[in-house]
Amino acid sequence: AIASAKPKEILMVRGGIERYLRTHPDGGYWTGANYLFDRRFEQRPETAIEKTPLGACGVCEAACEHYRGKFVCGSCKVPALVCRPCREAGDRDDLVKRVRCRLCREGHAGARRVAVPDVVDAPKKPPPKPPRRASRVVFLGNLPFTVE
């Protein structure tokens, strides 16, 4: 993976990444590929020159960018990249046990490692006040008006 691939800032793109890439065929500020959940698998700028993979295999850490085979991280269960040589070599069950995403390899706390906080009972609300009886005095401007 490329060391410079860490983002400097994260921005929301109005209309989504797909619209941004249609608006900027050269990619604009976009680097890499957009993962898609259909048969296209990925979307790149139309005139992208550089196709250096930004990701790494979840097993051997070789440069890789294709989500194929529906592999997930063994710790946090997020989709993980697995390179073709690792996919084609050996038993899939053994491979599934060894796959780790970048964050889990670096020791970041995943969803399964975070301790569940103790829940503290919220203070009880005081009982509602009884309804007030209707007032016999109504003020119209600054003048009191008495109803009998």
pTM of structure: 0.53
Which residue carries 């070789």 as its tokens?
A: 62
Q: How far apart are CA 117 and CA 115, in angstroms?
A: 6
Q: What letter would DSSP give residue 79? A: B
pLDDT digits (tens, 9 = 90+) for 100-141: 888 888 877 655 555 666 777 777 888 888 888 877 777 777
Q: How far, in Å, CA of 120 to CA of 19, rounded?
A: 46
Q: Is residue 45 predicted with pLDDT exceeding 60?
A: yes
Rounded Cα distance, 102 and 66, in Å = 15
What is the spatial distance between Cα 62 and Cα 24, in angstroms, rounded to a whole number? 30
pLDDT tens digits, 58-105: 888 888 877 777 888 887 888 888 888 888 887 888 888 888 888 888
pLDDT at 42 over 60: yes
Q: List, for residues 24-37, the tens digit of each pLDDT value.
A: 888 887 777 777 77
Nearest-CA neighbor of 96 among 107, 82, 84, 106?
82
